[in-house]
Amino acid sequence: QVQLVESGGGLVQPGGSLRLSCAASASIFSSYTMGWHRQAPGKQREFVATITSGGSTNYADSVKGRFTISRDNAENTVYLQMNSLKPEDTAVYYCNAEHPRRRLSWLYADKDYWGQGTQVTVSS
């Protein structure tokens, strides 16, 4: 049904850059809010960034100024450009698609989809 396929993770040195990509099902991409979350070992999954269908963005304080989220509606793909990477950024990064009204009504409670995750390791 709904599928999110991530790519772009890997090993990078501190200060380096990576760009993550998430290709989503065409049936939901253009109308859903897209986002990225991450989970480090021993920690809970945390918010990284989101972008609405209209292009409005939001970032976690920890990545603001370093990461940029964007979307290409024609290609049904969301990106996360990560610059000035730090060891603290090491985590599994997950792509997320959420119905824009999910948090307003229980009718949309199940309209929340996740990718399989891609590992990002920042180390010298």
* pLDDT the model gives residue 52: 96
* pLDDT the model gives residue 1: 81
As a whole-number percent, the residues of the chain with pLDDT over 90 amount to 93
Distance from chain centroid for Cα 94:
6
Instruction: Kindly report, residue by residue over 9-18, the tens digit of the pLDDT.
Output: 999 999 999 9
Residue 28 has pLDDT above 90, yes or no: no
